Each structure stands twice: as structure tokens, then as C-alpha cells.
A and B are shown apart, each in its own frame.
Chain A
Amino acid sequence: QVQLQQWGAGLLKPSETLSLTCAVYGGSFSGYYWSWFRQPPGKNLEWIGEISQRGSTNYNPSLKSRVTISIDTSKNQFFLKLRSVTAADTAVYHCAREAMGFRGGFDPWGQGTLVTVSS
């Protein structure tokens, strides 16, 4: 059974770069898109972007200027970088897998990482 485990710094200062890693255990990268989401406290889920095995990316236009999603298939990991963070970027960040065969089939999800931006 595929599991996603994520980690990264949980406390950042304004203007710093958020960096998260999502490791894939028990499955292949092939045939899937690998996505990042976030959920500010008490607010709605927001899609950040996705990457394919080949490194093809799609980003939310609202974050595109600050986001980079990358992948390392040799380590079965993919990554999120969000530059120049502000308090508005405080959220629980999730990684998830999406099957190429059915878009919107986001499963499984990582456990979530709370990232707080505060001076």
C-alpha cells in the first residue's frame, strides 16, 4: 500500500523560503501526478500545483511566481518550495498522489505539515 510521508521546517520568518519534502513508499512514480495542497487554519483547501514523473509541472496562477515543485525519482521524493513567505502562507501543507487515469483521484495523502510564518 502506497504511503506518503512529508516533512519540512514548521516555523519560518517572513521573506524566507518554505521547503517541504514528500517521500513515496511502496509505489512507483510512473503513471501518476504528484500534487501539493494547503489549508490555512479554518479555511478551505487550496491546490498549489503538480508534477509528473517526467518533471512536467502545473501551478496555481495565484502562487506561480513563488512556487517550484520538483521531483527526484531516484529517491522516490518530490518537493515544494515557496519563496518570500508571509503570514498569509501559514497553513497545513499536504502532498498527494493523483492517478493519470482519473483526474481528481487524489489518494493517498501525506499526513500534513503545519507551517507557521511569524516574525
Chain B
Amino acid sequence: DIVMTQTPLSSPVTLGQPASISCRSSQSLVHSDGNTYLSWLQQRPGQPPRLLIYKISNRFSGVPDRFSGSGAGTDFTLKISRVEAEDVGVYYCVQATQFPRTFGQGTKLEIK
């Protein structure tokens, strides 16, 4: 299985300041079709996960443009340009290049 490793596991951030979460995979996520199937999910307290980013950098419908994704191969980053109160929650990276799909451990974003 592909192991996904996120850092940091906890990120206290001041409102209005940027935040960054790293995700590293144990092997390349480039699929044989040329795409890289790395997504980011947000899980607010008490809610199911919500898709933010797919294929590294594509924002899903309705996701604010303060969220952005980047990276390639085995190293990926989720950035929030200016953290808002509603961004509190746990963020997961997930790979869908290989079966089984695997998740990072989650990064808890909290407000200082």
C-alpha cells in the first residue's frame, strides 16, 4: 500500500494568516494515464469529509479560492492564503492512483 505522511499533525494559525500542510507519498502518484490522483479533503467537527482539491491543484466546485494545491510526484502541499474561522477542522490528503486508496493521518487546523 502507498503510505501517505502529512506534516504537521497540528497547526495553530492566527486568523487572516496563511497555513500550509505537506503530504508525502511513499511512491510516485503518477498514474499510467499520466494523471496524478492526489486529493485534499476537509473535515469540520461533527461533519463528513468535504472535497477541496483533486488531481493536485484543481479546486472543487464551491471551494473558496484561498485554498490551493500544488506538488508533483511524491510531494504535495495544501495552502490556505488567509485562514478564516470556518476553516477549523482536520485536513486529509488521499491518493487514488493505486488500490487501496490511502489517506494521510490528518492535520488538525486550529485558531490560535
Contact = CB atoms under 8 A, between A and B. Distances in A.
Given A44-B105, A102-B54, A105-B51, 9 more contacts: A45-B92, A45-B94, A59-B100, A96-B49, A104-B37, A104-B55, A105-B39, A106-B41, A109-B48
Nearest to A61: B100
Contacts of B94: 45, 47, 104, 106
A85 B54 CA distance: 33
A102 B51 CA distance: 12
Closest 3 CB pairs of A and B: A104-B96, A47-B101, A104-B39
A77 interface: no
A105 B38 CA distance: 9
Interface string B56-90: 00101000000000000000000000000000000
Interface residues of B, number: 27
Contact of B49 (A58, A61, A109): A109
Contacts of B106: 44-45
A62 interface: yes
A47 B103 contact: yes
Contacts of B55: 102, 104
Contacts of B49: 45, 94, 96, 106, 109
